Amino acid sequence: MAINPRIIPKDRLLVQTASYNTNLQGDSGVPQDLVDWLSPTLQVSNFLAKEPRAPDIVAVGFQELLPLHLGFAGLSKSVIENRNSLLLSQIESHAPNKEKYSLVAKVVHVGVALLVYILDEHFARVADVQTSYTGCGPLYLGNKGAVGVRFRLTEFDGGLGETLTFVCAHLAAHERKLAQRIADHNHIVGSLVFPPLPTHPSTAGESSTAPTTIYDTSHLFFFGDLNFRLDLPETHPLHGPNNLHDLASALDSEDKRGELKEYDQLRVERKKGTAFVGLREGEFWKFKVCLPRSIRATTSGGFTDVFVPQCTYKYEIGEVDKYSSLRVPSWTDRVLYATYSDDPDTPEKSNITNLLYTSVPGYTTSDHKPVIALLLLPHPSISVALKGIPVLKLPADFKPVPMRYTSLKCVIGSILDRILGYGLSLLTLLGAGSTMVGVGNFVLGVSVLTFWRRGAGTAFDV
């Protein structure tokens, strides 16, 4: 959707989404100064409007937030509180007019976390804040899964307004596990549920008590480490581990990336209708970013802009732009979206304007790179004339419904998470910080104890 960058109506909400797999780093997962990640979308005055404008809503998601044993054990409170304080301070310090924000909601499940902020001038309009979570691992464990935040933004005159739903997810890893990723996605659609939407007063007697899916919303944002890979066919000249170097070189060319995008698993499955039905996405294959000033090449005249074509995974730890030789470079970290006025018959077009969609190279403590998207929502609806809140229009053959026993499944998963988490924590303690060493020490201890008991029994018999 074309838009004059100098004429943006103020009633169109500006939403920033950001996602980062921090590689189990806990409090060390992000630097204290997040300007390279947040500033490109916060300081938007040069290309958005004649006057500086900050995003109305900022949603930040994390995957692999902290070490797995702590995540399973539910010991994430200090990490998420520290992350919340840091994010809020950075969002406000880099806002173009020093705007103030408030936290709408935060939610964390094992290693997946989501924090949503809104400008203080809109905070009084926020209503019906809800959070949800689901685990996609074996027996509903949370090693993979999703968290969600939903809230309603009322109209200025008190009308029902519109709902916004944010989902942060971490799906099954490894190139060969495409079917499991699709299954994880389907599980999230069916089990990440919310209470029913409020209805117009004239239809109050028709209110439902049934839970609703992520698609029962005015605007939907689905992002995270979705783990879909670049899957080249065996007949492709760049297929196979022996061609990884040539593939990495080919990704330097925008033309080549335009060709290779056709083998992106997420793009393929979305077009087939097996996952992310009704959602749209920006041009992920055009991720191309300027290196931070601190790591740009210097010349006699100062700093020279260095632009790096970017997949988001997998990088050598500590490297800005060096892919690992262990995996096929891929765009695993993504942002998808939809709005109620999108037409299901034109799945590649959206009434949400994608102003910016890219990755950030300078963060090197993870094998992933962060991604950011800046999205301009359409003009708000006037729900006074409607029976209720506007919701997404979906293809006729796609009718998502909540799974049965979702609450019970979440409870089972959470109990197993805790049991596994405390067990892993004990092993980590035995291993002086290393779970694997702890396992070795435990096996060694059991072996010594067994040997001793057998020896003691033999001595007693004699």
Write the DSSP string, 249-302.
HHTTSHHHHHHHGGGBHHHHHHHHTSSSTT-EE--GGG-EEEPPGGGSPEETTE
Query: Structural domain tally of the chain?
Result: 1
The closest of 48, 40, 39 to 14, measured between CA atoms, is 48
Q: Is residue 77 situated within a structural domain?
A: yes
Residue 228 has pLDDT above 50, yes or no: yes
Rounded-to-integer distance, Cα 36 and Cα 291, Å: 9
Say how many C-beta atoms besides its own lie within 10 A of residue 74's C-beta: 16
Rounded-to-integer distance, Cα 294 and Cα 68, Å: 32
List helix spans (H) across 166-261. 178-191, 244-250, 254-260
Query: Which three-class secondary structure state does DSSP give residue 227?
Result: coil
Residue 130 has pLDDT above 90, yes or no: yes
Q: Which residues of 208-229 are buried (b: 16+ CB within 10 A; e: fewer)?
A: eeebbbbbbbbbbbbbbbbbbb
Q: Tell which wins on pLDDT, 345 or 42.
A: 345
The two three-digit tokens of residue 455, written as one number? 């020896």
The closest of 229, 154, 165, 148 to 384, measured between CA atoms, is 154
Per-residue pLDDT tens digits for 413-461: 999 999 999 998 888 776 655 666 555 555 555 566 666 666 655 554 5
Residue 304 has pLDDT above 90, yes or no: no
pLDDT at res. 4? 47
Q: Are 57 and 164 in contact (CB under 8 A)?
A: yes
Output the average pLDDT for the chain.
Answer: 85
The domain that contains 408 carries what CATH number?
3.60.10.10
- Longest Cα–Cα distance of the chain, Å, equals 96
Q: Is residue 435 situated within a structural domain?
A: no
Q: Band of the pLDDT at 160, cuts 50, 70, 90?
A: confident
Query: Which three-class secondary structure state does DSSP give residue 383?
Result: helix
Q: Is the dihedral of CA 261, 265, 271, 277 positive or negative?
A: negative
Q: What integer is the mean pLDDT of 69-91?
A: 95
Instruction: State the residue range of the domain holding 310.
Output: 14-229+264-413
Per-residue pLDDT tens digits for 136-151: 999 999 999 999 999 9
Residue 44 has pLDDT above 50, yes or no: no
Q: Is residue 400 situated within a structural domain?
A: yes
Q: Is residue 288 situated within a structural domain?
A: yes
Q: Is residue 5 situated within a structural domain?
A: no
pLDDT at res. 203? 47
Say how many C-beta atoms besides its own lie within 10 A of residue 101's C-beta: 22
Q: Is residue 89 situated within a structural domain?
A: yes
DSSP labels for 392-459? Answer: ----TT----PPTTHHHHHHHHHHHHHHHHHHHHHHHHHTTT-HHHHHHHHHHHHHHHHHHHHHHHHH
Q: Is residue 92 situated within a structural domain?
A: yes
Q: Are 104 and 120 in contact (CB under 8 A)?
A: no
pLDDT at res. 292? 53
Q: Is residue 247 situated within a structural domain?
A: no
